Amino acid sequence: MANIHIKIESPELITAIITKESVEKLDLKKGDTVSAIIKSTNIMIGK
């Protein structure tokens, strides 16, 4: 598995966990510009 951190407009960060195979197939490199499609049926909020 690989952790993918995505910086968004506000100085927030999205972390996506994908397989190393997916990283290789997408040829992802640090600093690449990417898009995130967020599909979720549950949202958990903690404090």
> Could you read off the pLDDT tens digit of each residue along the chain, which spans 47 residues?
888 787 777 767 778 888 999 999 999 999 898 888 877 777 666 67
How high is the pLDDT of residue 8?
A: 76
Whether 28 and 34 have beta carbons less than 8 Å apart is answered as yes
Neighbour tally for 26: CB within 10 Å: 12
The 3-state secondary structure of 1-47, one letter per residue: CEEEEEECCCCCEEEEEECHHHHHHHCCCCCCCCCCCCCCCCCCCCC
pLDDT of residue 26: 92
pLDDT score for 25: 93
Q: Which amino acid is at 44?
A: M
pLDDT at 44: 65
Domains in the chain: boundaries? 1-31
